[in-house]
C-alpha cells in the first residue's frame, strides 16, 4: 500500500488530494494535514469585508473529506524531513511514498510595528469581519487600503477591496462623505500581467475617485493616533479606517526544513513542481517561481489549483508505472471585482517569454456573475 502525504488543505492541497483520489485505487492512502479544522475560500473574504457574506459562508469543515476517502489529520505540522518524505505532527511522525508541500504563505502583521494592533487585516476572516463592522458604522472620513509589503496573495485583491468599499458606500449613498485611497509598496497594480492590465486597474480606481499612491512602504503604524508612517515621507498619513494586506512570509516549518532560503520561498522545477528531493513536491503560494521578466509567478489560487492537479497526475503515474505527460504551463486567469455588481477578467500565459501574454477583457456584470458562480461551484464540487 502506498501513502501520499499532503501538507496543507488549502486550494493546492485539496486539488491534489481530490485528483489523486480519482486516479488511485482505494488501497492507496491519501493523508491531508492541516492545522485548521476548516477550509477557507479566501476570495470570498472580499465580500465578507463589504457585508455580502457572513463568516460561516466562507468556510467548510475539513472532516468531510473523509467521506471522499481522504484521511484528514487536524494538527499543526511541526517539522518536515524532506529527504525521508516525512512530516512530524504534535504526537506522531508520518512517512510516505510521496510528499506534497502546500502550506501556503503565512501572514505576519507583527513584522511592522503597530500594524498588528489594527483590526482591519482583511487577509484573515476576523480582520475582514472587522473591516465590515467599521464600514457599516462609519459616517465619514478617510479610508485607506494599505499594501504593506510585496509579495502578497492575489495581486488584484487590495485593488478589488478598494473598489468594493467604494461600491458599498455608493449603495449607502454616503460616498461623498469619504476619501478612499490605496497606498502600495509596489510600483503598479498586477505588474506581472503587463502595463496594459496595470493601467486598466489604475484607470478603474481613478474612475471611482480612489486615489492611488504607489511606491510607498509603511514603516510603522501609530494606532492610537490613527496615522501611517511611510519610509518615503517625512509627514505621517492620517486615516479613519484602515484595511490592510499584511506582510507575507514562508511558513517557518518550511524554512526550518531547509526547503527555502532565509526570507525566500521554495524552489521547484517550474513544470513538474518537484523540489530537489525526488518525490517531494511544493505547490501554490509556498513556492517561488522566477519568471523571465524578473518577477516571480504571482501567488494565486488559480495556479495552486492547477499545480495540484499536475502533481497528483505525476505521483499517480509513477506509482502505477505509466508515463505522465501533464506539466504546469503557467496558464492562469482572474476576476477583478470592481463593486456595484461589476467585475473585470484577465487570462493568459504567465510563462510566456520574454513577458507574460495576458489579455484583459472589458468589465461587465457577467464577470461578477462568473465569480459568484465560481464560488458556488467551489463548494458544490467538494462539499
Ligand atoms: C482576500 C483574498 C482574495 C483572494 N482572491 C483570489 C482570487 O480571486 N483568485 C485567485 O486565484 N486567488 C485568490 N487569492 C489567493 C488564493 O487564496 C491563494 O493563492 C491560494 O489559497 C493558495 O493556495 P495554497 O494551497 O498554496 O495555500 P492556502 O490555500 O493558503 O493553504 C495553505 C494551508 O496550509 C495550512 N498550514 C499552514 N501552515 C501549517 C502548518 N504548520 N501545519 C499545518 N497546516 C498548515 C493552512 O492552514 C492552510 O489551510 C485570494 C487570497 C486572499 C487572501
Distance (Å) of CA 252 to CA 116, 150, 183, 277: 19, 18, 28, 19
User: φ, ψ for residue 46 (rounded to 5)?
Assistant: -65, -35
List per-residue pLDDT tens for the chain, 383 residues long: 999 999 999 999 999 999 999 999 999 999 999 999 999 999 999 999 999 999 999 999 999 999 999 999 999 999 999 999 999 999 899 999 999 999 999 999 999 999 999 999 999 999 999 999 999 999 999 999 999 999 999 999 999 999 999 999 999 999 999 999 999 999 999 999 999 999 999 999 999 999 999 999 999 999 999 999 999 999 999 999 999 999 999 999 999 999 998 779 999 999 999 999 999 999 999 999 999 999 999 999 999 999 999 999 999 999 999 998 899 999 999 999 999 999 999 999 999 999 999 999 999 999 999 999 999 999 999 89
Determine the atom of ligand 1 nearest the C-alpha atom of 103.
34
Closest CA to 346 of 330, 327, 363: 363
Tell me, what's the pLDDT at 264? 92
Determine the atom of ligand 1 nearest the C-alpha atom of 45.
1
Residues whose CB falls within 8 Å of the CB of residue 134, separated by 6 or more in sequence, listed in order:
119, 120, 241
Tell me, what's the pLDDT at 261? 85
Domains along the sequence of the chain with CATH:
3-105+250-320 (3.50.50.60), 110-248 (3.50.50.60)
Determine the atom of ligand 1 nearest the C-alpha atom of 9.
49
Contact yes or no for 208/161 (Cβ under 8 A): no
Distance (Å) of CA 264 to CA 6, 18, 64, 255, 278: 21, 29, 34, 8, 21
159 Cβ below 6 A of ligand 1: no
Closest CA to 66 of 98, 29, 95: 29
344 Cβ below 6 A of ligand 1: no
Ligand 1 mean position to 106 CA, how many Å?
A: 9
Model pTM score: 0.97
Ligand 1 mean position to 171 CA, how many Å?
A: 30
DSSP class of residue 50 equals T
Ligand 1 mean position to 168 CA, how many Å?
A: 26
Distance (Å) of CA 186 to CA 115, 190, 192, 212, 259: 18, 9, 11, 11, 27
301 Cβ below 6 A of ligand 1: yes
Contact yes or no for 291/323 (Cβ under 8 A): no
Pocket test for ligand 1, best of 12, 42, 155, 268 (most atoms within 8 A of CB): 42
Distance of alpha carbon 383 from alpha carbon 68, whole angstroms: 10
DSSP class of residue 303 equals H
Tell me, what's the pLDDT at 207? 98
260 Cβ below 6 A of ligand 1: no
Distance (Å) of CA 221 to CA 213, 229, 238: 17, 6, 10
Pocket test for ligand 1, best of 8, 57, 252, 330 (most atoms within 8 A of CB): 8
Ligand 1 mean position to 286 CA, how many Å?
A: 9
Residues whose CB falls within 8 Å of the CB of residue 285, separated by 6 or more in sequence, listed in order:
10, 12, 104, 105, 153, 248, 299, 304
First to last CA, the chain: 27
251 Cβ below 6 A of ligand 1: yes
Determine the atom of ligand 1 nearest the C-alpha atom of 77.
42
Tell me, what's the pLDDT at 342? 97
Closest CA to 77 of 285, 254, 332, 299: 254
Amino acid at each position: 500500500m502506498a501513502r501520499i502525504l499532503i501538507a496543507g488543505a488549502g486550494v493546492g492541497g485539496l486539488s491534489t488530494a481530490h485528483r489523486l483520489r480519482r486516479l488511485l485505487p482505494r488501497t492507496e492512502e491519501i493523508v491531508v494535514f492541516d492545522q485548521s479544522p476548516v477550509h477557507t475560500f479566501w476570495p470570498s473574504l472580499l465580500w465578507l469585508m463589504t457585508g455580502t457574506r457572513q463568516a460561516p459562508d466562507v468556510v467548510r469543515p475539513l472532516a468531510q473529506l473523509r467521506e471522499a476517502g481522504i484521511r484528514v489529520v487536524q494538527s499543526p505540522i511541526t517539522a518536515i524531513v524532506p529527504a525521508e518524505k516525512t512530516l512530524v505532527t504534535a504526537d506522531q511522525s508520518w512517512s510516505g511514498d510521496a510528499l506534497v508541500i502546500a502550506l501556503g504563505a503565512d501572514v505576519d502583521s507583527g513584522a511592522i510595528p503597530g500594524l498588528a494592533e489594527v483590526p482591519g487585516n482583511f487577509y484573515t476572516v476576523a480582520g475582514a469581519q472587522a473591516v465590515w463592522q467599521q464600514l457599516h458604522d462609519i459616517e465619514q472620513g478617510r479610508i485607506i487600503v494599505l499594501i504593506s509589503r510585496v509579495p502578497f496573495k492575489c495581486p488584484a485583491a487590495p485593488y478589488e477591496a478598494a473598489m468594493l468599499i467604494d461600491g458599498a458606500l455608493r449603495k449607502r449613498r454616503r460616498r461623498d462623505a469619504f476619501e478612499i485611497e490605496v497606498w502600495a509598496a509596489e510600483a503598479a497594480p498586477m505588474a506581472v500581467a503587463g502595463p496594459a492590465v496595470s493601467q486598466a486597474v489604475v484607470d478603474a480606481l481613478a474612475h471611482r475617485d480612489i486615489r492611488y499612491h504607489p511606491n510607498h512602504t509603511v514603516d510603522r503604524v501609530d494606532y492610537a493616533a490613527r496615522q501611517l508612517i511611510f519610509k518615503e515621507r517625512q509627514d505621517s498619513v492620517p486615516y479613519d479606517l484602515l484595511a490592510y494586506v499584511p506582510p507575507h512570509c514562508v511558513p517557518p516549518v518550511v524554512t526550518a526544513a531547509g526547503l527555502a532560503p532565509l526570507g525566500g520561498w521554495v524552489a521547484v522545477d517550474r513544470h513538474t513542481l518537484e523540489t530537489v528531493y525526488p518525490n517531494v513536491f511544493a505547490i501554490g503560494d509556498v513556492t517561488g517561481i522566477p519568471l523571465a521578466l524578473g518577477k516571480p509567478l504571482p501567488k494565486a489560487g488559480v495556479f495552486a489549483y492547477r499545480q495540484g492537479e499536475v502533481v497528483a497526475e505525476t505521483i499517480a503515474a509513477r506509482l502505477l508505472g505509466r508515463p505522465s505527460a501533464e506539466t504546469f504551463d503557467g496558464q492562469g486567469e482572474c476576476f477583478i471585482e470592481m463593486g456595484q455588481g461589476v467585475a473585470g477578467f484577465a487570462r493568459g500565459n504567465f510563462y510566456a517569454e520574454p513577458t507574460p501574454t495576458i489579455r484583459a477583457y472589458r468589465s461587465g456584470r457577467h464577470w461578477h456573475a462568473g465569480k459568484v458562480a465560481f464560488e458556488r461551484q467551489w463548494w458544490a464540487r467538494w462539499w
